[in-house]
Structure 1
Amino acid sequence: MKKTYALIALSLLSLTVAIIASAAAVQVLDDKVTVIIGFKDSPDAELVESLDGVIKYQYHAIPAIAAEIPRYSINGLKNQPDVEYIEIDTEVCILKTNSLFCWEKDDDPETSWGVDCVDAEKVHPDFTGEGVRVAVIDTGIDYTHPDLAPNYYGGYDFVNGDMDPMDDNGHGTHVAGIIAAVDNDDIIVVGVAPDAEIYALKVLNSDCDGQISDINAAIDWAIMHDMDVISMSLGSSTDFISMRRMCQKAYDEGIVLVSASGNDYGGNVSYPAAYDSVIAVSAIEKNGSVADFSNIGPEVELVAPGVNILSTYKEDGYASIAGTSMATPHVSGVVALLLSADDTLSPEEVREILASTATDFGATGRDELYGFGLVNASACLENYM
């Protein structure tokens, strides 16, 4: 009898193992992953679809496709002679900020010190960024905010796949206000370039999470829609071939790219800021010292105000936030001022002017803390006034 029970138990165990193994096999077969497929020449949509792939984006600026494919198809793709690389689509987020303080609408806060620090108000009688198109790749923008609505010109929501890039977090609205909050009668904040045209490219959701494939798509959109400046207050610790090449393509097409160095307390400069085609920006405090949260390294090109920066916020609000995310749009705004003075400048020429006119802090010349120094609007526009 014991032998019979043992045989029954063994049979049941074998059946259970078989069922689990079968379920695992089905899961593997059904397991799908979003990848970015880089091609040596032209992107091959038919190839991707033949491997049961569902295309998310077919990029225009680089020969690449973002698609959801069965995981078992990856090896098949790797063996295709026209495929150069395959990258797993990876999560990216805003660079963590140190503090957030929201102002009530009936409060009367002081105007942000950042605009004064970069000497932007001195040039506003002559240059305000008018006619310069700035793409803000972020959480979207509250385009109904009274300080932003006059300068909002459209955009796209890559998170939800629609034409409504409304900000459901607040970060992108804050960034946009630093760049181009209007100079109106009810002044709480004024942007560095208060007449620049702002375009919202939403790649991050309400939790500030997004995907590399969406950032690539946003840069692709900016290229196709003839943006002049791309401002990116986000980052990743990973270098992606597709993002590097997309940034380089935008640069080659005449777009100035600006991105945050990161807030890892002296860590390596994040991507895309670390790319050669991008201006990497770190943050300084009001006393001129580099903020302790700023990432540092040889890629740092400029610094700008990034501590207790007051700007627009979602739901018609205002907030004071710290981070290299806040430093970045100060530089983007100064670029817009410069291009409004001379729209023939190439990205290389813009960078040369910004570097040669920056207020040198720290060691003489370029260093890993301050780069070339504090961006200076009046100095870089002196020859145009």
Structure 2
Amino acid sequence: MSAIICTSRQFNSPEEHTTKLEQNGIYGWPAISINAKDLLPYHSPDIPLIAVIDSGIDVTNKYINESQVQTHILDEQSKKSRKIHGTQVIGLLIANGDGYNTPGGMLSDVKILSIQAGTDEGMTVQQLSTAVDTAVAAGAKVINISYGMKEPNKVLEDSIKRALEKNTIIIASSGNSGENTNFYPAAYTDVIAVSSLKQHNIPDTRSNLSTSNLYAPGEYLLTTSAQSNSSISWFSGSSASTAIVTAVCAIISSKEPTWGGERMKKWLLNSSKIIEYNNSIYHVVNLKQAMIGTMFG
């Protein structure tokens, strides 16, 4: 069975760690680029349950409030995960640091369902499909999938369709192979596909491209770590960008709980910040603009 791979990138050299922390914390340039300055961390009692289907989370990280996270280990094989990738993804959502020099997340006091499926090396299509069904059964309104594959699969497609039919919003990464190609489940109808944006509004050419993709920050973002020798890490790629868009979807859902994937995807694209780069047009998620015309007033 085809493997679903994670969509983050590792640092190539120690020098890549030298970027100033305050520039790469979520409340620095990433917040500015998505028009969310002074809104983060966003707090509302109406933020819905968010499921993160990934390699799990290290709840002992000092920047993670364990009481916010419900963990579900999918199967015996998933118990072997080192939880590196999942801890990075969830840190971008709920880390409780200052957001500049220590990891700070997009959201405050929300509930996360961490579904530990497969390992940091990947998961099977069946594992991802089962995890989607598990998230829906648990009542998750928003599902983050920072994994994917190049080939469509009927089992996975059926799980995605079942979730969307229940008005679940699914956000998935576009992949980092730098190809003009589909990546699944991001390419399925009404799934919100996310690509990576670098500083200074430069699209990351390593993200797979599609005219329907949303772009969000995904370059060396400061987040949490599952490594025993450090509580922080830097995270790049469409995996990281997907978490940013997941948070935006959860914020909009707090005021528009009846919206499903189709409505949310169209809204975010229509309210996006349009940038032109190398004679191409890109859509960058725009939080403040997305709030206009909704129940936010």
Q: TM-score range by the shorter chain?
A: 0.7 to 0.9
In the TM superposition, residue 186 of structure 1 has moved relative to its aligned partner by 9.9
- Cα root mean square deviation, aligned: 3.0
Aligned to 2:235: 321
Deviates more, 1:220-229 or 1:147-156: 147-156
Pick 1 or 2: higher relative contact order, CA cutoff 8 A, min separation 6: 2
Please name the residue that 2:184 is paired with. 271
- Larger-Rg structure: 1
Name the SS for the 1:320 alignment partner: strand
Identify unmatched segments of 5+ residues in structure 2.
Answer: 15-19
1:250-308 CA-partner distances (Å, limit 9, x unpaired):
0110110000101011241310001013111111110212112110124x331001111
| In the alignment, structure 1 residue 138 sits paired with structure 2 residue 54 | yes
Aligned length: 285
Does the 8 A contact of 1:234 with 1:260 survive in 2?
yes
The percent identity for this pair of structures is: 22
The correspondence of residues 15-54 of structure 1 with structure 2, limited to 5 A, is none
Q: 5 Å matches for 1:56-205?
A: 89-99=1-11, 109-110=21-22, 111-112=25-26, 113-124=29-40, 127-128=43-44, 130-150=46-66, 152-160=68-76, 168-182=82-96, 188-205=102-119
Asked if the contact 1:267–1:295 (Cα under 8 Å) also holds between the matched residues in 2, the reply is: yes
Tell me which of 282, 292, 296 is aligned to 1:382: 292
Q: Structure 1 residues 125 and 260, CA, compared in 2 at 3 Å: closer, same or farther?
A: closer
The verdict on how the C-alpha distance between 1:336 and 1:121 changes in structure 2, with shifts beyond 3 A counting, is farther
The correspondence for 1:283, drawn from 196, 204, 224, is 196
For 1:184 and 1:296, the matched residues in 2 are separated by: 33
Asked if the contact 2:207–2:238 (Cα under 8 Å) also holds between the matched residues in 1, the reply is yes
Deviation (angstroms), 1:142? 1.2
**Structure 2 CA distance for partners of 1:185 and 1:272, relative to 1, 3 Å:** closer
User: How many Å apart are 1:127 and its aligned residue?
Assistant: 4.3
Task: Name the CA distance, whole Å, in 1 between partners of 2:145 and 2:30.
Answer: 18
Kept in 2, the 8 Å contact 1:140–1:166? The answer is no
Gaps of 5+ in 1: 1-88, 103-107
Q: Is the 8 A contact 1:100 1:322 kept in 2?
A: no
Alpha-carbon shift at residue 100 of structure 1 (Å): 6.8
Q: Give the letter aligned to residue 382 of structure 1.
A: I
* Partner-residue secondary structure (3-state), 1:248: helix
Choose from 259, 269, 276 the match for 2:172: 259
In 1: Cα distance, 2:126 partner to 2:68 partner:
25
Q: 2:151: which partner in 1? A: 238
**Take 1:327 and 1:339, find their aligned partners in 2: how far apart are those partners?**
19
Q: CA deviation at 1:93?
A: 1.6
- Say if 2:142 is the partner of 1:229: yes
- C-alpha change, 1:233 and 1:183, in structure 2 (3 Å) is same
Please give the secondary structure, in 2, of the residue aligned with 1:330: helix
2:45, 2:37 → 1: CA distance? Answer: 12
Q: Report the Cα offset of residue 212 of structure 1.
A: 0.8
Match of 1:15 in 2: none
Offset at 1:354?
1.1
SS of the residue 2:63 aligns to: coil
The 8 Å contact of residues 190 and 265 in structure 2, kept in 1 or not, is answered as: no
What SS is found at the alignment partner of 1:361? strand
Distance 1:124 1:321 in 2: 19
Secondary structure at 2:108 match in 1: coil
Partner Cα separation in structure 1 for residue 199 and residue 37 of structure 2: 17
Query: Which residue of structure 2 aligns with residue 217 of structure 1?
Result: 130
Scaled by the length of structure 2, the TM-score of the pair is 0.85
Partner of 1:356: 270
| Partner of residue 250, structure 1 | 163
Q: Does structure 1 retain, via aligned residues, the 8 Å contact 2:143–2:169?
A: yes
Matches of 1:296 and 1:325 in 2, distance apart?
A: 15
Which one of 232, 255, 259 corresponds to residue 345 of structure 1? Answer: 259
Please give the per-residue CA displacement for 1:309-362, whole angstroms capped at 9, x wherever unaligned.
111111461111211111111100101111123323333332232122110122
Kindly provide the amino acid, as one letter, of the partner of residue 272 in structure 2: A
